[in-house]
Amino acid sequence: MSGPIIELEALIDKLSTDIKEVLKQMQRNKTAAQQRLNDIRDPVTRLPHEIASQIFIHSFPSHLQPGAPDSPMLLLRIGNSWTDIALSTPELWCSILDYPGVQILNTWLEHARNQALSASL
Q: Where are the domains of the chain?
A: 1-41, 47-120
Determine the pLDDT at residue 103: 76
pTM: 0.61
Quote the CA–CA distance of 80 and 74 in Å, as a whole number. 12
Residue 121: pLDDT band with limits 50, 70, 90: low
Determine the pLDDT at residue 59: 84
Determine the pLDDT at residue 6: 94
Determine the pLDDT at residue 70: 59
Give the contacts of 64 (CB within 8 A, at least 6 positions apart): 70, 71, 72, 92, 95, 96, 97
Determine the pLDDT at residue 110: 82
Quote the CA–CA distance of 39 and 76 in Å, as a whole number. 14
* Residues 56/86, Cβ–Cβ less than 8 Å: yes
Determine the pLDDT at residue 19: 98
User: What's the pLDDT tens digit per position in 49-97?
Assistant: 999 999 998 887 766 555 565 578 888 888 888 999 999 999 888 877 6
Give the contacts of 81 (CB within 8 A, at least 6 positions apart): 39, 42, 44, 45
